[in-house]
Amino acid sequence: MFTRRTNPWGRSRPSRLWVIVILITFVLLGWMWRTMPVVWTWIPPVDILKLAMPVLSTQPPASPSDGRDGAGTDVEQKPQLTPSRSQSVPGDTLNRRNDGTPPLQGTTMQQPAAAPARQAADPEGDDYPDLDILREDPRGMSPSNGAEKKQESPAGIPATDAPSPPTGEPDPVILLYHTHNAENYGADDGASRFDGRNAGVFTAGKRLASRMQEKHKLRVFHSDVIHDYPSYDLAYAQSRKTLLEMLSRYPNPLAIIDLHRDAVPVRETVTIGGRKAARIMIVIGTDARAPHPHWKDNLHFAEAVAAKLEELAPGLCKGVVTKEGRYHQQMHPRALLVEIGGDRNSIAEAQVSAEIFADALTKVLREKGLLREAKKGT
């Protein structure tokens, strides 16, 4: 039918009619494929629901395992539990809620209370790695009315955590530690932090301690305990434990230094005696978050050290700033948080500054008569 004679020897070849049939078939299939979705739009949605709802509402036949004692005996169904304010919440349910996993089936839960807008600030300190800390008024005054900040003690902070200043002859020792041991000076190797180890700031502390001991014959108790690893957020809680242990041995030291490095966007140096030195800043905590009745004693001591630094090395000290955290300074009237250099400085620049700071601190202690009293007590 679809073939025809093409030569006298009886051979044949397919007719072109096959090609036409195939093309028509493809056209029809394509048209049906494009028009099928449109067909459903011709049926109103209400009619579709009328057809589907009876099927969906039909319940399957119950079996003995579905809560029935037998084929013809129904078991009284228990009412479904709903959340209620008076119902207790199982501890496992709360734990799973806190872990971010769904509660187990058959348990009830109360609606969780709304989370506070922001968590309570750490009363000791809240510095963040590699961020320039916000500078507050250098005298702890409120920018709105000029009055001193006075706030109630936050919940959970006992008033006895702010002890009275130690009395009697001071112990002939300076306590030195690092809340943020991992802080480093990036100009040497490009790293601003080395988590889990004593980095560049500890090296600067070693130079400060050796200067005090070799040149000024003052003993320095330099702690190498890691505080900011594995948790950076708990660094101040950990360093508080270290400081309390140090104070149990030396209740009235000459001074307490928590040595840090700052985080600033530029490399700040001054040239002293032909050597480049990283700039220094002193941070003093106030009573804005927790009891700290003698914070101004720390402030006056810091101002004296800053003035002596300016006398020995003009331009080296950037000044004294106050912050709302206490930084453990409520434990002693001569406790300082000292920031030597920033993450853009080198260790060599920080070591030069550490030597000059040791000289200035010793001169202030001597001018206040504390070194004579310490020598009498030895």
Q: Grade residue 34 by pLDDT with cuts at 50, 70 and 90.
A: low
Report if pTM > 0.75.
no
Which residues, 6 or more positions from 86, have their beta carbon under 8 angstroms from its beta carbon? none
Q: Is residue 97 part of a domain?
A: no
- For helices 295-312 and 347-367, give the axis angle rounded to 10 degrees: 110
Are 349 and 276 a contacting pair, CB within 8 Å?
A: yes
Whether residue 27 is found in the same domain as residue 174: no
Q: Is residue 272 part of a domain?
A: yes
Q: Is residue 222 part of a domain?
A: yes
Q: Is residue 77 part of a domain?
A: no
Q: Is residue 96 part of a domain?
A: no
- Between residues 326 and 44, which one has the greater pLDDT? 326
* Residue 57, pLDDT score: 55
- Indicate whether 101 pLDDT > 70: no
Q: Is residue 117 part of a domain?
A: no
Q: Is residue 223 part of a domain?
A: yes
**DSSP reduced 3-state for 49:** helix
Provide the number of structural domains found in the chain: 2
Are 195 and 182 a contacting pair, CB within 8 Å?
A: yes
Q: Is residue 232 part of a domain?
A: yes
Q: Where are the alpha helices (DSSP H) in the chain?
A: 17-41, 45-57, 91-99, 186-189, 200-214, 235-249, 295-312, 347-367, 370-377
Taking only the tens place, the pLDDT of each residue in 161-200 is: 545 556 566 788 999 999 999 999 999 988 999 999 999 9
Whether residue 204 is found in the same domain as residue 352: yes
* Residue 201, pLDDT score: 98
- Residue 184: give its domain's CATH number: 3.40.630.40
Task: Report CA dihedral (173, 229, 160, 146) to the nearest 10 degrees.
Answer: 90
β-strands 12-14, 253-262 pairing? unpaired
Whether residue 172 is found in the same domain as residue 311: yes
- Indicate whether 23 pLDDT > 80: yes
- Indicate whether 127 pLDDT > 80: no
Whether residue 193 is found in the same domain as residue 342: yes
Whether residue 164 is found in the same domain as residue 297: yes
β-strands 171-177, 253-262 pairing? parallel
> Whole domain around residue 20: which residue ranges?
3-35
Cα 145 to the center of its chain, rounded Å: 32
Q: Grade residue 24 by pLDDT with cuts at 50, 70 and 90.
A: confident
Burial 171-208 (b: 16+ CB within 10 A, else e): bbbbbbbbbbbbbbbbbeeeebbbeeebbbbbbbbbbb
* Residue 170, pLDDT score: 75
Are 345 and 268 a contacting pair, CB within 8 Å?
A: yes
